[in-house]
Structures are given as structure tokens and as C-alpha cells.
Structure 1
Amino acid sequence: MLLSKGATAAIGNDSLLEKLFKLKEHDTTVKTEVIAGFTTFVTMCYVVFVIPGMLAAAGMDQGAVFVATCLISAISCIAMGLYANWPVGLAPGMGLNAYFAFAVVLGMGHSWQDAMGAVFWGGIGFMILSLLKVREWIINSIPNSLRIGITCGIGMFLALIGLKGSGIVVANQGTLVSLGDITTFSPIMASLSLFLILGLAQRRIQGAVLIAIIAISVLAVTFDPSVKFTGLVSMPPSMAPVLGQLNIMGVLKPDMIGVIVAFMFVNLFDTTGTLIAVGDKANLADKDGKMKNMSQAMITDGTASWIGAIFGAPTVTSYVESASGVAAGGRTGLTAVVIGLLFLLTLFLSPLAGMVPGYATAGALLYVAVLMMGSMARVDWDDLTEAGPVAITALMMPLSFSISNGIALGFISYPVIKILSGRYKECSLSILILATIFALKFVLFGV
């Protein structure tokens, strides 16, 4: 029987996809991968609504950041699929973008152009570490407790930003912070956003964050005079206000070293943890237990960060929400390519993104904080030499309003506590080197 032209084309396309993504080897199909890609996209696309508003607070053009976020997410996902063949979605990270806007720019007083330059060098450093295989040495020699402290601290930092931005927590001269007027519209909507997300997520409903953001935005348009409906679809805004505006050479100065290191190492830990978790769920380990194409995945992530800085979007990272797509059957890079294509389509939804108020996205920040703080369950609280540095790292991030200071104090405290406890042999060479560098940074250049 002769095949129709359409059938022949379909077979040809299947053959190309099979060659690119090795679908049969991974026991999956095109249909399954497309569904998985859509599933992951729905769970992580809230970033295109949250990130632009966050960076607008740092003085960046919200429309331009929206386009930059969509574009770098799309390019990163497609690159991850084609180069690493991993079912992982990438986008600008919530924690590091909050650090970028609220700590580096608003807290330390640096321009967003300088902060973007620090993101650039952090991405370059991450990429070099991945290419030279130094990444494994660093990851393996840094105690798990410090990684937990960093993860939890970023969660607490995000929580403080969400609570402050929605008016639930306010400044107080006598007590530093206090409870705001939670009977007003913004705190009520932010609280409702969080409750909706937690309730829907507990029911295992995909896209819980997106559903909550849309629901609160509808209420905002209905009851908040400051929020107006301006349409759903339009041509993307210009990227000119942020494209290529980073200060690359001007940030190579002592007071930016800690910032660059923070961008590099937090992304390193975050990406490694996410890729290991997602790769394990997707059965990407070989017979020796090593993840296939892990180096390619890490290089893609690191490259995306410095390219994103040129676009005007801070640190790109692999998203743990990718696990939802894996749970839906995603096993190859075709899942990531589908996610990327969907991010490209999102470019035309800028009016929708522009009318999402801050209190609608506060729930997303608080939800991510809840997930990140859950890592505390893995701390050995009976071992004070491990628990102490965790608490110091986690607490000092929100209390000093700086991820880099929290990391620095955690790395300094770890060997000091171990040595004073008579357990100096548990301090690796890398820990001692990093602790010395961070200590000298405080002594020579201050905070």
C-alpha cells in the first residue's frame, strides 16, 4: 500500500526526532514528551509574571525584562534539549533574582547595570568550573549541611521579600520589623494567593502557582482601582532598555567579589541539586550510577546565565518544577524543547504580565520559600558542628538582607566550630580556602 505524503512526512519527522532525542532508548514517545513539556511549562511559567515585577523594583523596564525572561528561558530550554538531551526547563531563578533586585541593587546601592555585570561573571565562572571538571571537586568537598543552609536561607530571604512587598511585614524602628495592617487589600490578597497555592499543590493540581496568580489578578482588576485590564495579547515590547546594558568590566572590583561569588556558587549548588533530583526521577543514570550528559547540562546552565545577563535577565537556573514533567513521562530533551517553544509563544502575553500586581505574586515567593525551607528536615540537629553553620547561614541571609553575606558567614563558621570541637580533620581543603577568602573579604573590604 502506498503511503500518503502526510504519512511519509510524519515518518520522516519521527525519524529525525528519534535521531535527536533517542526516544526508543528512553522508552518514550513524541506524544508523551509533548505532554510532559506542557506540564512542566504550566508549573514554571509563573516566572514570566514574577521576575519582571521584581526587577522593576530595581529600576529596570518591566516590559523589556518580560521579553528578556521569555527569550532566555526559551533559548535555554531548547539548548538543554538539543545539547544535553535532558527533560529540564530553565528560566531566571527566583532566589537569585530577589537577591539581585533587593540586596545588590536596593540594599547595597549598586546600579542594576553593575549587578548584571556580576551575573555575567558569575555565569562565566560557573561555565569554566563545569568545563574544567572542577565542579565535582567543589561539590563533593563542601559539606551537605552548608548546602542545606544555603537552600533554606534563600527560602527565608524570599519569604521576607514576599511578606515585605505585600505589606504583611513592615519596618519598625523599635523592633526592626512588625506585623502590618493585615486587614487591608494587599495583605489579604497575598495571603489568599499563598493559601490557594498550598491547597492546590497539596491536591497535586498542576499549575497551582499559575492558577493562584491568575485568580488574584482577576480579583485585583475587579476590586483594585490601581490595576486595570489592558488586553491579553500584543506584540512584544522592545528589549532596548535592558539589552546589552550590563557593566562588564566596571564590576571587577573588590566590593563586588562577594556578589559575583554568590551568583556563581548559589547557582552551582541549586543547579546540581536540581539536575541530580530530576535526572534520578527520569532514570538518566548509567549502569555505574553516573548521570548521562551531566556535564552538558551544567555547561548549558552556566552558559545561559551569562548570555541571559546580556539579554537583561539575571541568573538562569534549572527549575525543580521539571520533576512534574518527568512525572508525566518526560525522559528526553524533546520535553525541554517543547517548554522552550511555549516560552516563545508567551512573548505575546505582555499585557497580561503587566497587569499582575505584586501581591498576586507574593504567594509564589512564599510558596517557593516553604519548599526550600523543607530541606531543614535533613539536618542532623544532634551534631552542633553541623547544625550551627546551617542556622548561621540560613538566619544571616534574611537578617543581613544578603545571600552572599549568609554564605560567607556560613563558610567561615564551619571550620571554626569544627576546629574548636576538636574535629578539624572533617574540614576539607576547599572549605579552609573558601573560609579564608571570605574572612579576608570582610577584613579588607567590609560587608
Structure 2
Amino acid sequence: MAMSYLIFVVPSMLADAGIPKDAAIASTIFVTIAITLLMGLWAKFPVGVAPGLGITAYFAYFVCGPMGFTWQAGLAAVFISGVIFFILTVTHIRELIINAVPLDLKLATAAGIGAFIAFIGMKNCGLIVVDANTGVALGNVAKPEVLLAIAGFFITAALTIRNVPGAMVLGIIITTILSLVLGVQKLPEGDLFSFSVPDLSTTFLALDFGSALSHGLFTIIFTLTMVDLFDNMGTLIGLSRKAGFMEPNGHIRNLDRAFITDSIGTMFSGIVGATTATSYLESAAGVAAGGRTGLTAVTTAVLFAAAFLLIPLVGIVPGYATAPALIMVGVYMMQEVVNIRFDRLEIAIPAFLMIVGMPLTFNIATGFGFGFISYTLVQVLMGRWRNVTPVMYIISAAFAVNFILR
């Protein structure tokens, strides 16, 4: 229940990228079922895996937006990033990259992505609009769609604060029902409760490697891989600590299997028509309820299979009904800010630039670049160049070259 809101939110964003809505819903559910099963049966982690929100937003609103990629080319980039992530994991290069980035910047990554997701939610429901003079401005709050989104957010917030299970999906459902009752949203024609085999023919093996390799691929692949690395790392380590999987020396059993599972999930996502698969932090709800084995993930996958019965109903959920969930996810991810050492300016400057860079440039990759480059420059200018690892120098230089060549 805690992570089931993704059935509504992820396909909505994929549809904005141009993927047919029914196929987007089906591919999202297929990936969630298949890779969560693998996580439970092979990695033996009580963790649900599904297309990630932050990376889906990057895919829909940047890769298939300003970058000019088709969704078919975007899926090819997702598949390639999965291959790279798999190679980085089995060769242990992943560990070098993760260890090279300071903890404060890892935390800033989560906070920045949270701000980016919340911004998208506000934009999608019309609460924030484009303004020729100021860039962005407050939208028309008298519009029914905006009012419903605001109401949905506070309903979701209240349910979350009261620890109601499945608060976000309940908020989506309540907002949708209100929109139907008030006549803002119309029911589609046909039988809403008829079961039909999901049609993935429009997205299955629709990857366009030729277009993906034609331009701008480095930035996209780099961003997809970096987000996958840090997102999975933070989620899996946090959940492992909560579940008691972490040994006194910091070792986590089967962690490599969990990372490999995510990379396989990303390749599978590209094949069927979804975005980068990642472990969901909402799995903490299952761990808190006593889930300690892979059976927890298997149960989650089986329950997601029942979602195929709801595909006709999912299609009636409007974008402004999913906006509250995006904003709430942003709130959750922004909580990492309290652990960043903002009392030290050499830390505060790059962390701040990373956090604000993501939503203000509407690009997760640019936020990464702001943070990594500024951290490296500040350390060098302070005469602490030895504190920066060689890998960090390489990452910063790669971002600098990318910015110059744009």
C-alpha cells in the first residue's frame, strides 16, 4: 500500500513523455512485479523495486523535452545505463564512485531530487506556471483543478501525519473521486471493471539505439547511472540498517545481489517501456511491520499483480490528482537536509548549489554538476586538494566539459 501510488504517478509522467498511457501503466506494473520477485527470490531483500520517480521525471521532462529525444531513444538510453550499472557493480567500480563522493553531497542529491519532484508536481497541477517576466509565478488558484490538487495535498499530508497506511494512494483516490463528483473529471466510456491482457506492443523492444547514440547521450547516461547509484545506495543501506542486515563492521550481506537486481531491472525496463528501476524507500513500511526476508518482496510482487485488474480505473486518474503525491515525495526526500553540515561553508556551498540547481534548471544532471564542480573548486582553493579523490576530479572535469560543449 505504501508504494502503490507509483501505479498512478509513474505512468502519468511516462505519458507526458509520449508513451501511450495504457502501455505505460502495463510496463510500470510488469517491471515492478518481475524485479521485486527477483529481489525477493535471489537477493533475499524485503524490498520493492519499481521505476523511480526522480529518474522518470528526468526522462519525461528533460530527456524527452528540452533534449529533444523521442521516448524510444530515451528507452535505449535507459537500457544502456542498466548495462553500465551492471558492469560497474560486478567490477566493483561502483564502490569507488560511491566512496569518492562526500556524504554531504550524497544527502544533497536526495534533497535536490526531492525539490525537483515537488516542483514538477506543482507545475503539473497548475499551482506554478510559466511567467514571461519572472520565469515562474503562482497559477490561477481559482481553477477547479488547482483547488482539487491543493485539497488533495492537505488530505494526503493529514493522512501521512496520522500514519494511515497507503496515505498517498488514498490521497490520489480521494482527489479523483472529488473531481468526478464535482464534474471536473469525466468517467470514460466502457466497462471499467473488465479484465484484459495489457498490451505492450507499442513499447516492447521499441528502443531506438540509433537516435540515442546520435547526440547528447553522455550526459543522459551519466545522470541515469549516477542517480541509480546514489538512490539505490541510500535506500538499500538505510533499509538494511533498519532490518538488522548490517554487520558491526558495516558489511551488508547480499548487497551486491541487490545492486545487480536493480541493474537487471533497469535493462528490463528499457525493453518493456519504462524507466530506471530502483529500490523504493517505502519498503521501510514492510520492514517496520516485521518483514525480514525475501518473502516480503515476493508478497509485494504478488499484490502488485492484482493491479492489472485496476488498469481501466487507473486511466481515469487526472494529472492534478497525482500532483499531491509528488509534492509529498519531495517533502520526504528533503528531510535529508537536516543531516548536511550547513554550519561549514565549504560543505554548505556545493550542497546548496546542488539542491537549488536541480529544480531551477529543471535538470538533475545540471544540479549534480553544480555540486561536484563547486565542491572540487572550493577544496582546491582552500589548499585542501588532497581531500578530493581522483575519481571526484574526473567526475567534476566531465561535468565541466559537458557544460562547455553545450
**Normalising TM by the smaller chain, what interval?**
over 0.9
| CA shift for structure 1 position 174 | 0.5
Q: Residue in 2 aligned with 1:52?
A: 11
Q: Does 1:224 align with 2:183?
A: yes
Q: Residue in 1 aligned with 2:312?
A: 351
Instruction: Supply the distance in 2 between the matched residues of 1:305 and 1:104 (Cα, whole angstroms).
Output: 16
Instruction: Supply the distance in 2 between the matched residues of 1:208 and 1:246 (Cα, whole angstroms).
Output: 35
Instruction: Supply the distance in 1 between the matched residues of 2:274 and 2:10 (Cα, whole angstroms).
Output: 9
Q: Which 4+ residue blocks in structure 1 deviate beyond 6 angstroms?
A: none
Q: Does 1:326 align with 2:287?
A: yes
Q: Does 1:105 align with 2:45?
A: no
CA contact (8 A) 2:144 2:184 kept: no
Instruction: Supply the distance in 1 between the matched residues of 2:379 and 2:215 (Cα, whole angstroms).
Output: 29
Instruction: Supply the distance in 2 between the matched residues of 1:326 and 1:225 (Cα, whole angstroms).
Output: 39
- Superposed CA offset, 1:81-105 (max 9, x none): 0111000001110111011001111
Instruction: Supply the distance in 1 between the matched residues of 2:139 and 2:278 (Cα, whole angstroms).
Output: 33
- Pair 1:203–1:226, CA change in 2 (3 A): closer
| CA shift for structure 1 position 308 | 0.7
Structure showing greater radius of gyration is 1
CA contact (8 A) 2:185 2:318 kept: no
| CA shift for structure 1 position 164 | 0.8
Q: Residue in 1 aligned with 2:134?
A: 175
CA contact (8 A) 1:58 1:112 kept: yes
Q: Residue in 1 aligned with 2:90?
A: 131
Instruction: Supply the distance in 1 between the matched residues of 2:216 and 2:88 (Cα, whole angstroms).
Output: 22
Correspondence list, 1:21-100, <5 A:
42-100=1-59
| CA shift for structure 1 position 247 | 1.5
Instruction: Supply the distance in 1 between the matched residues of 2:100 and 2:67 (Cα, whole angstroms).
Output: 31
CA contact (8 A) 2:145 2:184 kept: no
Structure 2 segments unaligned to the other structure (5+ residues): none
Q: Residue in 2 aligned with 1:206?
A: 165
| CA shift for structure 1 position 229 | 5.2
Instruction: Supply the distance in 1 between the matched residues of 2:366 and 2:124 (Cα, whole angstroms).
Output: 22
Instruction: Supply the distance in 1 between the matched residues of 2:184 and 2:351 (Cα, whole angstroms).
Output: 44
Instruction: Supply the distance in 2 between the matched residues of 1:275 and 1:125 (Cα, whole angstroms).
Output: 19
2:337 to 376, 379, 385: 376
The one-letter code of the counterpart of 1:84 is A
SS in 1 for 2:373: helix
Instruction: Supply the distance in 1 between the matched residues of 2:221 and 2:96 (Cα, whole angstroms).
Output: 20
SS in 1 for 2:278: strand
CA contact (8 A) 1:107 1:401 kept: no
Q: Residue in 2 aligned with 1:299?
A: 260
Instruction: Supply the distance in 2 between the matched residues of 1:383 and 1:422 (Cα, whole angstroms).
Output: 16
The one-letter code of the counterpart of 1:112 is W
Higher mean Cα deviation, 120-129 or 78-87? 120-129
Instruction: Supply the distance in 1 between the matched residues of 2:392 and 2:336 (Cα, whole angstroms).
Output: 21
Root-mean-square deviation over aligned CA pairs: 1.3
Structure 1 segments unaligned to the other structure (5+ residues): 1-41
Higher mean Cα deviation, 235-244 or 206-215? 235-244
Instruction: Supply the distance in 1 between the matched residues of 2:171 and 2:193 (Cα, whole angstroms).
Output: 18
- Superposed CA offset, 1:320-360 (max 9, x none): 00000001100000010111111112112111110001111
Q: Residue in 1 aligned with 2:146?
A: 187
| CA shift for structure 1 position 225 | 4.4
1:147 to 101, 106, 110: 106
Residue identity (%): 38
| CA shift for structure 1 position 202 | 1.1
Q: Does 1:160 align with 2:119?
A: yes
2:74 to 101, 115, 135: 115
SS in 1 for 2:208: coil
Q: Residue in 2 aligned with 1:424?
A: 385
Instruction: Supply the distance in 1 between the matched residues of 2:203 and 2:185 (Cα, whole angstroms).
Output: 26
Correspondence list, 1:221-370, <5 A:
221-228=180-187, 231-253=192-214, 255-286=216-247, 288-370=249-331
- Superposed CA offset, 1:138-178 (max 9, x none): 11121112112211111111111111110101111010111
- Pair 1:426–1:253, CA change in 2 (3 A): farther
Instruction: Supply the distance in 2 between the matched residues of 1:270 and 1:352 (Cα, whole angstroms).
Output: 30
- Superposed CA offset, 1:238-276 (max 9, x none): 111111111234423451201111001101100011001
CA contact (8 A) 1:89 1:318 kept: yes
- Pair 1:139–1:435, CA change in 2 (3 A): same
